Amino acid sequence: MDNAHDDLLILLNDLARSIRTEADRRARFQSMTRAQWMILAWVNRTPGLSQRELAEIVEVEPITIGRLVDRLETRGLVERRPDPDDRRIWRLHLREAADPVLAELSVHRAEILRIVTEGIDPATVAAVTTALKLMKANMASCRKPNAALDERETA
């Protein structure tokens, strides 16, 4: 590839950065951060996530998730409940006060998606979505321990 403007990895990175920037801008209007929005979205999608599981999904340190959850808990949006099988683990659940925030988040997500997909027919959007899911799965599978790669890194 001789043209950096056509490099898929650069385009994906630039698009993701643009989406994050727009989400940051919109989240500020609710006195929140994009990371807090992500936490609410994930806990809504998967009630009972542990802070550690959430940290892995969001790709931040558990202490960072802990601080963000502290803020959401102070606002009455999230609650920690003890895990019935392991008292060291706290499970995250949304509180009723999160409903209007999630509704607002849904509006912003729809607006950002509209902007991103403007001028692209639905079949192409569906094909891109399928391709991105496969790309994500491919990357997840390459993160599994690889003895050959580990040997090269330590050599």
Q: Is the model's pLDDT at 36 over the cut of 50?
A: yes
Residue type, 72: L
DSSP state of 118: T
How is residue 60 written in tokens? 């931040």
Query: pTM of whole model > 0.85?
Result: no
80 and 90 in contact (C-beta within 8 Å)? yes
CA distances from 39 to 15, 21, 136, 144 (A): 21, 17, 20, 25
Q: Give tens-digit pLDDT for 42-52.
A: 999 999 999 99
How is residue 114 written in tokens? 């509209």
42 and 17 in contact (C-beta within 8 Å)? no
Q: Give tens-digit pLDDT for 74-122.
A: 999 999 999 999 988 999 999 999 999 999 999 999 999 999 999 999 9
Class of domain 4-118: mainly alpha
144 — pLDDT class (breaks 50, 70, 90): low
